[in-house]
Structure 1
């Protein structure tokens, strides 16, 4: 399936677009990784890089994700800003889209971070989401492992993400892939008025 529209200026070194159900004939992306057997013979599922035309769908997915995580009250989405950050002159985030029969049904959004101890970049997975009707078919796994493949291709030292502590299903899924929690670390955040106040301190 050909790419349509403008894709992120960062995703260049790996061709991400591929059909999931046809992966038994692909050397690079195996059906085991992408759960091809979870789809019927009449379903065409694939992972592809996001295009600028996907921004409205990404906005929809982000609202759905916030609702699932009980965080809708924190959302202040700006479509123009998201479009700029994905597809502007200096993109700072990247996204992959999961499709079923040509329709977007989920996404992964990630960006580059850095480990000074390793002296190597890493990828931080900010969001991973599949619509409820399409869960349990391997698409979430496909998205996450696609980001992992990009991490390896870019010689990253690690790939990281956060998960809400009540989401035991997701935690079990991540652990089944060999991921481990960073129990010795506590995440801190400055935002809103606290960030503005800190920035104004002498």
Structure 2
């Protein structure tokens, strides 16, 4: 199993984290996006979108971080991480959509502005980050995990962790979100947890 990776990508970290939580052995293939290696013909043959991460599981190639989380949970038969009942499955999917939407356009975008100089209004993306963080903090009031309120986490928690944990690198202050901070510590206490690479940017400088 090969994971095509970039160290600073929160999308990649979702997959690295889940592979580690599942105890799955894998080879990491670093792709230098600053040199355009994700746009080479060889990489585009794996993922025509030219995006990371990509998982190659013995010839079964899966791209998109959330799709890879679903693939791995199904591959391993882990209904604890991805429940089968309709209500719980829908709840997990809802938060995967948040990871691809509000998180991507909020804390992830703010971090991309600070780290990579992405063209965006810093104040606007930071405001978006605070809006979704407020909603998540409310969701976590009285429950440990995001999707189902069950005693164990799901891939929804894995999908949201990285960009929230590194939100201060984009100038997003997490101090006003006690439930979010407690949730981050719970994720970090899971057996097999691996941290995302940090950078001295934004409030983390």
Q: Which has the larger radius of gyration?
A: 1
TM-score interval, smaller chain: under 0.3
| More helix by percentage | 2
**With structure 1 as the length reference, what TM-score do the two structures score?**
0.27
| More strand by percentage | 1
**With structure 2 as the length reference, what TM-score do the two structures score?**
0.26
